[in-house]
Structures are given as structure tokens and as C-alpha cells.
Copies of this chain bind each other. A is one copy, B any other.
Amino acid sequence: MAATRRPGRNHLFIPGPTNIPDRVLRAMHVPSEDHRSPDFPALVKPLFQDAKMVFGSEAGTIIFYPSSGTGIWESALANTLCRGDKVLTARYGQFSHLWVDMAQRLGLDVIVQDEAWGTGADPEKIGQALRADTEHKIKAVMVVHNETATGVTSDIGAVRKAIDAAGHPALLFVDGISSIGSLPFEMDAWKVDCAIAGSQKGFMLPAGLGVLCASAKAIKASEGTAGGNDRLGHVYFAWSDQLKQNPTGYFPYTPPLPLLYGLREALECIKEEGLQNVYHRHHVLAEATRQAVAAWGLKTCAKEPKWNSDTVTAILAPEGVDAAKIIKHAYDRYNLSLGAGLSQVAGKVFRIGHLGDLNELSLLGAIAGAEMAMIDCGVHVTPGSGVAAASSYLREHPLTRG
């Protein structure tokens, strides 16, 4: 869009939207179609089944919405909770903060456990809060699996254990927007009740299709009549309309056709690579990135290795250097799109997203670019050091598991 043409590709290393495989873009290039035709369910029905695989679920129910991830978040809350219901959540970054904000605006009574940015959900504290709630007033526990703002992954399995240990019946809601399809996710094993994903991250699609996986318990909650007119009244995001039509292969309103075709192809990509290989690849590329950060002598926002996210690395700029300047320069000079620091860490971090459809040399190009941008902005970094460290690691660790 710039006035003069920039040669070559943009190097997109934000934590989403992610790079879309060419074959997925091709699959989306389709004319309009009658979404009520007898042939339509042949496209739609397998999507519900195949998408579940990505959530690590066999028992769950998939619901798609023409929406961004924010809408799906709201759908999870609005279908299962009533105004004034108590929910428990932890906050440790911009996206966990936004979920708190949404819940409050919807009229829920939100118990917030604030954690240091750079750490994640504390299963111990969650367990405590639940045990203290002897009357079971807490209706849901909400956790952001991967906090995109800080590059921190929380341990959902441990949260589940804490809930079970407390013997508490609360629903477990997980924001998996920047994790599902990229990091191991075990909907069924972790007994997640609502898992939330967007098309533009691990699904390697443009934004525009929200994907939710709901447990039987969540769906049961959505059918409850107890709420009466205290229900959070929603129609577009009401599951009931979807659940009535989806089993026949149709939708209650016109679906975004290109995204359905794209999803079919993206799921095929995931199946061809193998979901475990996809996870492994994300881990290897993330670790290579962290090797580069270490070689630069810098620190990640994630305070301990256990918090490391395999989809995005937030890098702390050295004292006195404006991370926003590095980001702007990387874009202006090297056509490299990095993620900005948000809110508390604005100007302090820049983020490298390494999720979606990516391989070693693309990442090394980005690492080289980040390095160059830093040097140009006055950060003392040895030229080539990041690439040397990352590439040495990558030479030893193939993207595909033996």
C-alpha cells in the first residue's frame, strides 16, 4: 500500500494473523455457492469432525461463527452464564486482561488473580480460591492458555488438577486463540468446557472464523432455564441455533464460504504434516528463537523457562532502548513485521511470532532482521550472533520428529 513499491515479501512475524499456505489461499478462491444446496453438507460435515482433532477432543462439539476470536469468547460466556454469576480468572497480560474486561462488561462478578506479567496462571491459587468457595458460587474458571502479549504459556492440565482436587464443579473455559493448532491441547484429557480458537493463528487462515469447542457439560449449561431473564441475552452467538442446524451440515445464517474451503484445506495440511509434528516444529522454532535471544544477551518477558511460549517470544529491549522504535525501524527498513509490546510492556518488548506455517530459513531471516534493526537502533548486539545460535540449534534439531 505504500506509495512506492517495496520489493519482495513482507516478513510477517507477529503472533497472528499467521502466514497462510499458498494452497490454503488457493482453496479460498471460490465463487459464491448456495449454502442451502444438497451438496453443501459434504463440505461442512467433515469440518466439525476434523476441527475437533485440533482441540484434542473426541467428545466435544465444534461451533463455528463468522466472527473474530473476541466474539467466540463472548459466546462462551453468554451461553453458559447468567448476569451476576461469579467467575474466577487469572490476569497476566493484555489478553487475559481483556477477557476480564469483557466478563465485567457483560455483568459477571469476576474474581481476578493478578499475576506478574511474564508468569501465568497459578494452579495453587486457583485451587485455594475454589476450595474457599464452599457454596460453589463460582460458575466458571477462565484461563488464557497462551498469553500472546508476554509469550507465556500456562499449564492447563495443572489447572484442571487443581479444580478436581478442590472438588469444585465450575466450568473450565480456556482461551486457546494463540495456542490451539500450535501447542499441544488436550480438550478431553484436561476436561476443558469451552475452548476458544480463531482462524488466524494455528489454523493458518485469515481472521473471520471463530471456532469453539464445547463440552457436553457446557452445552448442558447453555440449555439451562434457571437463568430466566437474567440470561445474558444474545441471539447471533446463541449456540442453540447452531446446534439445531449443524448436524445436518447447514448453518443458521450465511457462512463465510471461502473460510470453510480454506479450513478444509488447512485441516488437510495439518493432517498431512501430522499434528504431533506441528507441535514439535513449533517447539523447535521457538527454542531456536530463544537461543538467538540468549546469544544477543537479552532476556525474554517470560520470567522462567517453564513459562516459555512456543508460539511467540516477547523480548525485553535493553534498558534505555525504546522497543517501539526497533519495531518501527524493522518494518520501515527491512519489511519485517514484529509484534509490539502492549499496555504494561508497551515500549519495553518486541515480539517475534513463530506460529503458523513457517520453517527454519524464514525464521532465520526474521532473526537476522531483528538483529539488524536492533543494531541500527543502538542496541549492542554482535552481528550474526542470533543467527549463529539459532542456526546451530536448528541444524541439530530437525522440524520433523525422527
Contacts and interface: CB of A to CB of B under 8 A. Distances in A.
Nearest to A254: B207
A233 B105 contact: yes
Contacts of A357: 7-9
Most buried by B among A229, A238, A371, A382: A371
A25 interface: yes
A49 interface: no
A68 B253 contact: yes
B362 A9 contact: yes
A28 B258 contact: yes
A305 to B, nearest CB: 23
Interface stretch (A118-126, A212-220, A390-398): A390-398
Given A5-B272, A71-B66, A361-B369, A30 B37 contact: no
B257 A206 contact: yes
B106 A1 contact: no
Nearest to A376: B395
Contacts of A371: 391
Contacts of A9: 19, 22, 31, 357, 359, 362
Interface stretch (A131-139, A156-164, A189-197, A331-339): A331-339
A66 B207 contact: yes
Interface in A3-22: 4-12, 14, 16-20, 22
Among A200, A256, A257, A333, max chain B CB count under 10 A is at: A256
A33 B23 CA distance: 14
Contact of A30 (B22, B70, B336, B382): B22
A69 interface: yes
B368 A273 contact: no
Nearest to A12: B32
B331 A83 contact: no
A235 interface: yes
A17 B38 contact: no
Interface of A: 1-2, 4-12, 14, 16-20, 22, 25-40, 42-43, 65-71, 73-74, 83, 101-102, 105-107, 198, 200, 206-209, 229, 232-238, 252-259, 269, 272-274, 278, 281, 328, 331-337, 340, 357-362, 364-366, 368-369, 371-372, 375-376, 382-389, 391-392, 394-395, 398-400
17 contacts: A8-B19, A9-B22, A17-B254, A29-B29, A32-B200, A32-B206, A66-B68, A83-B229, A102-B235, A207-B256, A208-B259, A360-B369, A360-B372, A361-B365, A364-B387, A372-B395, A387-B388
> 5 closest A-B pairs (Cβ-Cβ)?
A384-B388, A8-B359, A365-B365, A208-B256, A5-B272
